[in-house]
Amino acid sequence: MKRKTLALILSLALALGALSGCGSSDAGQAAVTGNSAGTDSETPAPAAETAQQPQAEDGEDIELSLLFWSDGRQKELVEQACRNYEKMTGIKINEEVLPSDESFDTYIQTRKESGTLPDLSYINEADVMKYNEMGLLAPIDDLFESGAIPEKLDSVTVKDTNGKVVAVGLSNQLMLLYYNKDMFDEAGIPYPSTDVASAWTWDEFIEVCQKLTTDVNGKTAAQDGFDSSKIQTYGVGFNCLMAFHQFWPMYANGGGLVSADGKEFLWDKPETIEGLQNVVDLINKYHVASPAGYTFVSSIGGVDAAIGGGGYAMYINGSWDLGNIPNIEGTNVGVAVLPKMKEAVTMNCGAPLVVYNTSKHLEAAKDFYAYMIDPANSIELLQSGAWLPNQADYYTDQSLIGEWTKDLPKDAVETIMSYVSHEGSIAQWPAYYLPPYNKMNAEYTKYIDQALNGEKSVEEVYAECMPEIKRLYETGTVE
């Protein structure tokens, strides 16, 4: 599929939602929090025109199963969407909720072996290619061709090697910078910009981090006598997903994993190595970022825990965390663009929804699919910031923009729209389009902690692991 940034998509075509993001928080890797569900009268009318309604044959009652991950409020909103669809069609939806960890994939595998796959499910971005290669996913091209699904952002549309659409990310999640305004005010530091064109340089970012990192004696990392073994507040923290805190700096420094078309291997390039080393230095050289939250086995939680808890002055996480800002009491939280290295970029993700080709009611399952990924049917989660729209016109049509952004912080809206409007400022997670991604990443995780904990430089670690990772890339296959 063509790899385009969101800005490029908007310039070429004006044509979410996933009840998930890609980040890890105290609510789970992809769980996000939404506003309270409205009454039937407050809920936007389902997009009944987007697909021809399936009819039960011979009086048969159709039931569909949906497997997803979620937490409290989001779960309620998913269930509300299902109830609305039931009222509209008479088709019963049976929901099943699981954690968004490795057990989700294991459960799907178990259901496959027993012949009891659900009709639809969420799926981790990196697993779409695997499940499709296993022959489990139903293509959904026909929904686009018929107009049942309007054009979605290329950045969250997953196609197989033959160009058939097999999944759409239910949300377009972006990596953002959250910060404690009160700490900035106390230190006399101007707030970071919401404009991509005015993003901090990396040196400016380090300087701010040093001024905001304090030890138990009140010394900052910029002062003599600072005790890095007794840090009370870190200047910055990251969420635990490698796609964000490790892959993002590679692209920000002009490198990456692979090129946008997947044809060039970039993971071993000097720019890639330097970009990741810049982040590693925040931990081990400057002592302004905590080692916690840098692997899949540890996490510092969401913005409410990281900034609301007072342990971090800044926090880099996905846009789904906007939904957690209202949970923070007594702290003023700001949102801004990320610092830049050679380029000012962010990364996007958004866990896809899929239809399994084993469904006994495939037509009905696809109709429900079209309903679930229509932003009009998830407006409350869009308004909370837990999701961002997966459809281009929601970023260009002023009436739509006004509807989904009305309850979001002004600086959050400015930041999101700045990324949208700047061509080349959004890098797509290669998990969407690189078949060998999972096995490449598995090999990478065997080694990278040696760099994160300071045992070796990134260059030294890469010298050990990259030959095998490049070999896996060259296979071009999932397995």
- Report d(CA 376, CA 378) in Å as an integer: 6
Q: What's the pLDDT score for residue 112?
A: 93
Tens digit of each residue's pLDDT (9 = 90 or more) over 400-459 = 999 999 999 999 999 999 999 999 999 988 988 899 999 999 999 899 989 988 999 999
Binned at pLDDT 50, 70 and 90, residue 12 comes out as very low
DSSP element (H, E) containing 235: strand 231-238
Residues 376 and 47 sit within 8 Å (Cβ to Cβ): yes
Q: What's the pLDDT score for residue 332?
A: 97
- Report d(CA 469, CA 262) in Å as an integer: 14
Binned at pLDDT 50, 70 and 90, residue 479 comes out as confident
pLDDT at 23 over 60: no
- Report d(CA 124, CA 102) in Å as an integer: 10
Q: Does 292 or 436 have the greater pLDDT score?
A: 436
Residue 362 belongs to a domain: yes
Looking up tokens 């380029």 gives: 343
Residue 290 belongs to a domain: yes
Residues 78 and 30 sit within 8 Å (Cβ to Cβ): no
φ, ψ of residue 141 in degrees (nearest 5): -55, -40
Q: What's the pLDDT score for residue 351?
A: 85
Residues 382 and 391 sit within 8 Å (Cβ to Cβ): no
The alpha carbon of 373 is separated from its chain's Cα centroid by a whole number of angstroms, namely 16
Instruction: Sort 342 into a burial class: Cβ within 10 Å, 0-12 / 13-18 / 19+.
Output: middle
pLDDT at 58 over 70: no
Q: What's the pLDDT score for residue 189?
A: 99
Q: What's the pLDDT score for residue 376?
A: 94
Same structural domain for residues 276 and 356?
A: no
Residues 279 and 348 sit within 8 Å (Cβ to Cβ): no
**Integer CA distances (angstroms), 347 to 65, 173, 240, 430, in order:** 32, 8, 14, 10
- Least confident range from 11-25, 137-151, 181-195, 319-333: namely 11-25
State how many domains the chain has: 2
The alpha carbon of 345 is separated from its chain's Cα centroid by a whole number of angstroms, namely 15
Same structural domain for residues 310 and 191?
A: yes
DSSP element (H, E) containing 68: strand 63-68
Tens digit of each residue's pLDDT (9 = 90 or more) over 231-282 = 999 999 987 566 667 899 999 999 999 998 899 999 999 999 999 999 999 9
pTM of the model: 0.84
- Least confident range from 27-41, 203-217, 366-380: namely 27-41
Two tokens, residue 405: 């952004």
Tell me if residue 112 falls in helix, strand or coil. Answer: helix
Same structural domain for residues 16 and 121?
A: yes
Residue 31 belongs to a domain: yes
Q: What's the pLDDT score for residue 45?
A: 41
Binned at pLDDT 50, 70 and 90, residue 40 comes out as very low
Residue 179 belongs to a domain: yes
Same structural domain for residues 166 and 267?
A: no
Among candidate residues 396, 425, 460, the one where a domain is terminated: 396
Q: What are the residues facing 314 on neighbouring strands?
A: 179, 236
**Integer CA distances (angstroms), 414 to 24, 399, 405, 425, in order:** 24, 16, 10, 14
Q: Does 69 or 46 have the greater pLDDT score?
A: 69
Binned at pLDDT 50, 70 and 90, residue 54 comes out as low
Residue 354 belongs to a domain: yes
CB atoms under 10 Å from CB of 49, counted, come to 9
pLDDT at 6 over 80: no
**Integer CA distances (angstroms), 139 to 110, 155, 219, 353, in order:** 22, 18, 58, 12
Residue 413 belongs to a domain: no
Q: Does 158 or 9 have the greater pLDDT score?
A: 158
CA dihedral angle for residue 430, residue 434, residue 438, residue 440, rounded to 10 degrees: -90
> Quick one: DSSP state of residue 220?
B
Q: What's the pLDDT score for residue 70?
A: 77
The pLDDT mean for the chain works out to 85
pLDDT at 4 over 60: no
Residues 449 and 407 sit within 8 Å (Cβ to Cβ): no
- Report d(CA 363, CA 366) in Å as an integer: 5
Same structural domain for residues 281 and 159?
A: no
Binned at pLDDT 50, 70 and 90, residue 21 comes out as very low
- Report d(CA 355, CA 130) in Å as an integer: 14
- Report d(CA 473, CA 24) in Å as an integer: 26
Q: What is the DSSP secondary-structure string of 250-295?
A: HHHTT--SB-TTS-SB-TTSHHHHHHHHHHHHHHHTS--B-STTSS
Q: What's the pLDDT score for residue 299?
A: 67
Binned at pLDDT 50, 70 and 90, residue 296 comes out as very low
Same structural domain for residues 261 and 392?
A: no
Give residue 249's domain range: 174-348+433-475
pLDDT at 325 over 90: yes
Average pLDDT, integer, range 140-167: 90
CATH code assigned at 126: 3.40.190.10
Same structural domain for residues 286 and 300?
A: yes
Q: What's the pLDDT score for residue 89?
A: 96
Residue 48 belongs to a domain: yes
**Integer CA distances (angstroms), 301 to 161, 171, 234, 318, 362, in order:** 36, 21, 14, 12, 38
- Least confident range from 11-25, 82-96, 152-166, 282-296: namely 11-25
- Report d(CA 340, CA 205) in Å as an integer: 9
CB atoms under 10 Å from CB of 3, counted, come to 17
Q: What's the pLDDT score for residue 238?
A: 87
Binned at pLDDT 50, 70 and 90, residue 162 comes out as confident
Same structural domain for residues 308 and 197?
A: yes
Residue 421 belongs to a domain: no
Residues 381 and 19 sit within 8 Å (Cβ to Cβ): yes
- Report d(CA 396, CA 412) in Å as an integer: 17
Two tokens, residue 166: 């097999």
Q: What's the pLDDT score for residue 38?
A: 31
- Report d(CA 162, CA 150) in Å as an integer: 21
Q: Does 190 or 292 have the greater pLDDT score?
A: 190
Same structural domain for residues 288 and 248?
A: yes
Same structural domain for residues 303 and 268?
A: yes
Query: Which residue in 346, 373, 353 sits closest to 428, CA to CA?
Result: 346
Tens digit of each residue's pLDDT (9 = 90 or more) over 379-416 = 988 998 888 999 999 999 999 999 999 999 999 999 99
Q: What's the pLDDT score for residue 18?
A: 36
Same structural domain for residues 239 and 357?
A: no
Same structural domain for residues 368 and 455?
A: no
Average pLDDT, integer, range 38-46: 37
Q: What is the CA radius of gyration of the chain?
A: 22
Query: Which residue in 384, 390, 356 sits closest to 17, CA to CA?
Result: 390
